[in-house]
Copies of this chain bind each other. A is one copy, B any other.
Amino acid sequence: TMLKKVLLGSLGAVLVLTAGILLGHFGIQRGSTTPDWHLSHDRSLVPMCLSRELTKVPHMATSPGDEKTVQYMLKRWQDPDTGLDQAWREEYKVYLSFPDPNTPNKVTVGDPSDAVLYTAREKEKAYSSDQEDPEVVQPYAAYAPAGHPKGRLVYANQGKPSDYFLLNQTLDLTGTIAITRYGGEGRAGKAINAAPYGVIGVLVYTDPWDINDGKMSDNNETYPYSWYMPPSGVERGSFNTHYGDMLTPYLAAKDDTYRIPEKNITGIPPIPTQPIGFEDAYALICDVKLDIYNREELKNSANVMGVIRGSVEPDRYVIYGNHRDSWVHGAIDPSSGTSVMLEVTRVLGRMVKQGKWRPRRSIIFGSWGAEEFGLIGSTEYTEVNNLNQSNVIYKIPVYIISNATLRASGSPSAQSVILKASKQVKTPGSDSTSVYDNWIRYFNRTSPAYGVIPNVGFLTGAGSDYAAFIHFLGITSMDISYTYDRTKTRARIYPAYHTAYDTFDYASKFIDPGFTSHQTVARTAGNVLMRLADSLLLPFNCSDYAETLEGYLNKAMELNTVLEYPVPAPISEPLQNAVRNFRSAATRLDQLVRDSDLANETPLKVRRINDQLMLLDRAFLDPGAFPDRYGFRHVIWASSKAGQATFPGLADAYTRARSTGLDSDWKEAHRQLSILIQAIQGAAHTLGDAI
């Protein structure tokens, strides 16, 4: 479970979201060779107030601001001219964490002076230009327990297991309070790793080295004078390692649903934990006292759902979602994504309302609540609705920062559709350079099949709302964002991330002036969405999946994970065979598609191929693969401690076995290998000919 957060931490950088104003059309050129189905859209503009509308109230889950945003979205999705076929809200009641509004969390320094160094919410207020409702009470470290530890402060780097292990070699950590910096380890992990050493409290700060390229004065260098985080900025977050509502694992959180006892919750900090700004972090010395008054409450939260009914295959769903709740105002995270989604729905909705267009497949739009507490809304959606029946993909458009390039992650079979769309959209401020051109310049990789191409990453963690879809349900997913120029900054993530400074002012001045990057993302995401919803054949490429498996296999061979077992047979052979079988099945299916005149084939033959492509990711699920890891069943995409681009269960089990030498650990490695072979063979079978 800790493992997940490690990845979450490192993935966080590409998964967070933005707010903005959109220029309408999706940038598919008329007269290109693209088929008709994605040319039939309009090119109108959105009102410039969109982003401000979304961000003028703080919209933490369950806050009055969130409710206003819900109403705003419903109004737009039910608009008679530009709305969807249908839109509604879906309520659930979930376990959230809040500070005490009357007794703010405190960090006190020195003994016996008890000078209050830090009180939550006080510092940021002065700088935050847009805080129109500063009295909304938000947690800083959601799910960190209340408590009042007092002890000597020790610096524990990133709070990784190895950090505490090494520190403990020279220093007795019993009774200490650890101060750690963000990054390298998931939020909750910093406290979970500390507790076994007797640490009694944890502080977390955002190091200016990691986020501000070292800039740390508030004189010209930081917001409101630049995009860098002011010294007072506090990065909030949910300090749990599971995803979904923690009291109703795998169950929809309705009023009457069974809830596990709170004491049975796992994966949350066992000791009081509080994030602080770096100005406070650097002032801390010696003894520190934490006064944490967090408490948990059952609260209602809601998803806002909207649909466009498919004309030919209404029982195949393309799901497009973004979360709605934020820490404070959340102009970037999540409102950039929300405004992109609203623009996409407005353009598509108008075409539908005018009777000009209706997609082949149904499209479901989801505005998820309570993502910031642990992907709760999207996970509830998968638990309430029976998604086993028929569905295609989940797509979340996420967006970060202008002036650079698209970033995307997804199942390998989804790589090609993203690349195709990116060729049809121009990069911001250019009439000739495509998103693809820019992307390949900033962030590329060498593919055995295609040579140098833009890099599409993998969805290996539970970093955002795709988690329940890809990891638990095996629904082919992708994640699209726009990012900043990493040659010019080392920032771990955009500096205002999860702070009160993530405002409309910040976004419009420093992130995306003119909102041209928002427009680019809307065009790209809209292009991808229309291809998924409208193409006769699903635009999934199974040979690209084969390439990924071959890459994983090569890495596994390199790491020896399939060669060195202390078991009788040379067992790398079966895994190589499985990957070879998968490649053959993919090649045959590709060939079948190339040799077919699909437009003139029987609908059932086309459907059969589409089902094979749709179910490919599902074939990699194994409910018994990771019994100790909540919500992870996909044997290719589960995150791995090894952090290598290889089979995660196998790599982790192998690493462990090699380090302990225990027979039982070698057995688990062998079990993981068998699970993997069976999943790959099953996936090859899915792609294979029907009888």
Which A residues form the contact surface with B (CB < 8 A)? 85-86, 248-252, 254-258, 260-261, 307, 309-310, 312-315, 317, 362, 364, 383-386, 388-390, 569, 571, 573-574, 602-604, 607-608, 611-612, 615, 618-619, 621-624, 667, 670-671, 673-675, 677-678, 681-683, 685-686, 690-691
Q: Rank and list the top 6 A-B pairs by shortest CB-CB distance, nearest first.
A: A386-B682, A315-B690, A314-B690, A258-B674, A258-B670, A258-B671
Chain B nearest Cβ from A247, distance in angstroms: 11
Query: Are A254 and B574 in contact, CB atoms less than 8 angstroms apart?
Result: yes
Chain B nearest Cβ from A342, distance in angstroms: 20
Chain B nearest Cβ from A96, distance in angstroms: 20
Chain B nearest Cβ from A67, distance in angstroms: 25
* Chain B residues, CB < 8 A from A314: 608, 690-691
* Chain B residues, CB < 8 A from A683: 386
A258's partner among B258, B364, B390, B673 (CB-CB below 8 A) is B673
Chain B nearest Cβ from A603, distance in angstroms: 5
**CB-nearest residue of chain B to A683:** B386
Chain B nearest Cβ from A257, distance in angstroms: 5
Cα(A390)–Cα(B307), bound, Å: 27
Cα(A654)–Cα(B184), bound, Å: 47
Cα(A567)–Cα(B252), bound, Å: 18
Contact A388 to B686, CB < 8 A, known contacts A255-B569, A574-B256, A667-B258: yes
* Chain B residues, CB < 8 A from A249: 624
Query: Are B690 and A390 in contact, CB atoms less than 8 angstroms apart?
Result: yes
A571's partner among B256, B623, B673 (CB-CB below 8 A) is B256
Cα(A389)–Cα(B315), bound, Å: 16
**CB-nearest residue of chain B to A309:** B691
Contact A315 to B678, CB < 8 A, known contacts A619-B386, A685-B389, A686-B386: no
**CB-nearest residue of chain B to A312:** B604
Cα(A388)–Cα(B608), bound, Å: 14
Query: Are B569 and A313 in contact, CB atoms less than 8 angstroms apart?
Result: no
Cα(A642)–Cα(B615), bound, Å: 38
Chain B nearest Cβ from A645, distance in angstroms: 24
Can you list 19 A-B pairs, Cβ within 8 angstroms, ordered by A? A85-B691, A250-B622, A251-B671, A251-B675, A255-B569, A256-B569, A256-B573, A256-B674, A257-B678, A260-B671, A310-B690, A314-B691, A315-B611, A362-B690, A389-B686, A603-B603, A604-B604, A607-B607, A623-B623
* Chain B residues, CB < 8 A from A615: 388-390
Cα(A682)–Cα(B250), bound, Å: 13
* Given A260-B667, A362-B691, A386-B686, 15 more pairs with CB closer than 8 A: A251-B675, A254-B574, A258-B667, A258-B671, A261-B667, A310-B691, A312-B604, A313-B604, A315-B690, A386-B681, A386-B685, A388-B615, A388-B621, A390-B611, A607-B607
Cα(A683)–Cα(B608), bound, Å: 23
* Chain B residues, CB < 8 A from A621: 388
Query: Are B258 and A619 in contact, CB atoms less than 8 angstroms apart?
Result: no
* Chain B residues, CB < 8 A from A607: 604, 607
Chain B nearest Cβ from A481, distance in angstroms: 27
Cα(A667)–Cα(B257), bound, Å: 11
